[in-house]
Structure formats: C-alpha cells, structure tokens
Amino acid sequence: MSLKLYGDNSLQNLMLYYIKCKIKNSLKVVMDNGNSNNGRLMAFYIVCLTSYVLGGLYLTQFKLTIQSVPQTVYLIVIVGLFFLYGIIFLFMLFQYLCRKDLTCLMILGMAFLGNNIFFVETIYIVQDLINDHASIEKRTNDIAIFYYFRQVSFIALLFVSLKSYKISSTVIETKEREPCYIVLAFLIMIVISVMAHTLASYNPNFTLEITSLKPDNATVHWHIGYIYSLIVSWGLVLLYLIIKTRTHNILWKSIGLVCCSAILTNVLLLSLDEYSMYIWYISRGIEVISTLCIISILMYNTFIILKKETDSAIKDAMTKIYNRKLFYKSLKSSLAKGAVCVMVLDIDKFKRINDTYGHQEGDRVIISIVDIINKSIRDTDIFARVGGEEFAILLKCNDKDEAIVVAERIRRNVQNGTTIPNSYELKEKMTISIGVYCSKIDDESADKVVSYADAALYEAKNSGRNKVCYYYH
C-alpha cells in the first residue's frame, strides 16, 4: 500500500464525531419557499378573478336579446361545482385523518360537503325543468331557496370552523381532540338542509317566497332583503376570519377570497333584474375560480408535505444535502454498473470551534462549508453528510486524475472562501482534508471502497491536514 499526498499545512489528530442539528432553522427555508409559491398561486387566481369580472361587466354593456341561461348549461355548471366541492372535502378529510387535532379543517371540509347537499336538490329541480315536469315559477323559487340556504349553511359551518381554530397549533400531532365541534357542525349542516327542503315547494304550506318572475316570465326578481342578509353575513364572517386567523395560513387567505367572491356575487345579484344572463355567468364564474384557487392550494401543499417527507428520508435536516443512507445506496448502485470515484472529507480542527464558540457557530461552519463544496461540484455528483463534520462525495467519473483535480478545487475553495473576512461571517478560516479513491473491477463492496477513501483521509490528517490524499493498493 502507498499513499500520495497533495496540499499543505499543519498536523493534528482526527476530529470528533456528531453534532446536534438545529432542524428549526432549516425547515424555515423550506416553509418560506412554500409560502412564496402559495402567494404567487393565489395572486394568479386573484388576477384571473378580477379579469373575469371586469370582462363580464364589460359584456353587460351589450344588451343582447337572450335573457336567460339554458337549463343544460345551468346543469353542467352545477354538476361541475358539485365535483369541485367534493374534491375539496376529500382533501380536507384526508388531512384530518392524518392530523386529528386539526378539527377546524374537518369542519371546513364539511362546509364544502354541505354545498353538495343543496347542489343535489338543485340538479333534481333543473332536470325537472328540462323535462317540463314542473312549474317554472315554483322551481325558480326553489333554486333560489337552495342557493340562499347553501350560503347560510357555509357561513354557519365556517363560523364553527373558525371557532375551533387555534393559531398556535404545532407542526406535530397532539392528543387534543374536539369532537363536540364536529358534532355541532354536522347537526347544523343537517338542520339547515332539512329546513331548506321543508321551505321549498315540496310543502306548499311552508313555502318561502324568495323570488318571483316578472310578467315576461324570463326575468327573476329577488326579494332584496335576502340578498342584503347574505352580504352582511359574509362580511361578518370575513371580519371574524381576519381577526381569528390573522390570515396567518395560506388556506385561510384562500377562504377569505371565497368570502370576498361570495360578497361580490351577491352584490351582482342585486342587478339581476336587468342582466340576468350575464350576471348569472359572472356569478358562477367567480365561484368556480375561487373554488379552483382552494383546490390548487390544497394540492400544492399536499405535494409540498410529500416532498418534505421524502427529503427527510434521504436528506440531512440541517444541511439539506443527502444523508449517509442515500449515499451508500447510490454507491452500491453505481458499483454494480462499473468503477466509481469516492471522496471522504473532514473539517479540520472542528472540535476546537465547538469548544471555543459553541455549537451554534459549529453549525454555521458546517452549513458554510457545505455551500462552498456544493458550488465546487456538479449537480450530478452525490454529496452527502455521513457524520458530524464528515462528508462524502460520489463523483460521476472513474478517472483518478480528474477526481484529484476536483478534490484540490474543493480544498482550495474552502480555504479561500473562509479566509477572514468572508461572506459567511465565520470567526476563523477553515480547512478540510480529503481522501480520494477510485474503485477497481474487483471492488464489489461499498464499505470496502469507503474504507479505502477513509484510509487516505486519515493519512491526510496525520500528515498535516488541509491536504488531498489518494489511496493506492
């Protein structure tokens, strides 16, 4: 066995092992990125919503002769909304099943599910109108009743959801449960649904007159008090949402958008007497866009959670580079395909940094050196943290000379990048020692390949540190 040395500087023994990671700071970076993308997503839907409303209002200036919405179109939109609200409910249900302390999320899902009860009633009515089995005047009033109580149900359940919301909820599941809120929400949903059905034309003695047809039998006239009651109710629940949640969560911001959309829809409903067709399309379009906003945010956040779970299995929490498990898995896979080059790197005099300045400074040193190394290698190289201050790199090459050039570049960049003063605000200049080994045909064991690179690293440490050493056998 022979060892060839590259580099310079002084001697000391091998450094300590593992350092406690501070996960909180590293997760903050991921959350900031996620919040930024959520903000862009919501801004996109707000722009779409604004453009749609302005475009619709512009079209109302052209008074076409068509003054009613075809029943088949009405049916298609209602069925579409039915499935959209069903998807939202399923997303929130599954999140609640994973985190049963998030009672507010389950109740919010029930609010969307409650909409579908009224949609089923509306679909049945529209189908009757298409088949000419019902009086237009009575059925139009029934549709208005279900439209009115659908919003009343949503407002009531949203209020209960906000009541159960805790802004100080943790990122881990707690044993705290509040089933009483869920039971209350379920009862409210059922009671309002039964009330709406009872007040429809199914029971002539209790029918509630919300609308009436004008003499042209085409234009709907709403009794204005019901619309104002909805506008006031949506405004109050929106105010409560802002006060209770402080719009801290992107989901609540999207629910706030739904509240604003509902207020706008009902304001537009006040002008339904003049432009029934346009106002209907604008109102339903507003509801569809705001619903799509919620679905998009729920889907995006679900995939963010999946990505975090995947990263936690293969990446180091503090540095965000790969962990020991992933490195060995990749090394075994690469060895099965042919020869590979491996580097093992260790930060020189790291124990003294911890002892002198504390673990917080030690963490900063590790993160800074990882950043320098990341900028010194290719994206295709596997860079992993295999110990406290020990790292490993699996190079996408099998040439010894190229591996040594890369190692020298890394060593030099760390030395120059941490020289005082430096952009990382480190208190001392840091150096690293590197052991390099390129596998042979008969090297079938990942542990053996790493042990050879480790032997080269020990030699670099024992011969003065801040060196690159290649292992020959």
What does the alpha-carbon distance between residue 199 and residue 179 come to, in Å, rounded to a whole number? 30
Contact 334, 394 (CB under 8 A): yes
Cβ neighbours around 63 below 10 Å, total? 9
Both tokens of 45, joined, read 């839907």
Torsion of CA 213, 215, 219, 222, to 10 degrees: -40
CA angle 227, 89, 266 (to 5 degrees): 15
Contact 262, 230 (CB under 8 A): yes
Pairing of strands 382-385, 341-347: unpaired
Query: Shortest CA distance to 201 belongs to which of 210, 188, 192?
Result: 210
What Rg, from alpha-carbon coordinates, does the chain have? 33
- Catalytic, out of 287, 389, 390, 459: 389
Say which residue the tokens 């003695």 belong to: 205
Alpha-helical runs (H) found in 60-166 = 71-98, 103-130, 136-164
What does the alpha-carbon distance between residue 87 and residue 103 come to, in Å, rounded to a whole number? 18
Both tokens of 257, joined, read 């958008």
Tell me whether residue 444 is one of the annotated catalytic residues: no
3-class secondary structure per residue, 34-54? HHHHHHHHHHHHHHHHHHHHH
Residue 421 preceded by cis peptide, ω within 30: yes
Q: Which long-range contacts (CB under 8 A, 24 or more apart) does 215-223 make?
A: 216/67, 217/136, 217/137, 218/67, 218/68, 218/276, 219/67, 219/272, 219/273, 219/276, 220/140, 220/144, 220/272, 220/273, 220/276, 221/273, 222/144, 222/269, 222/270, 222/272, 222/273
3-class secondary structure per residue, 388-403? CCEEEEEECCCCHHHH
Beta bridge partners of 456: none
Active site members:
389
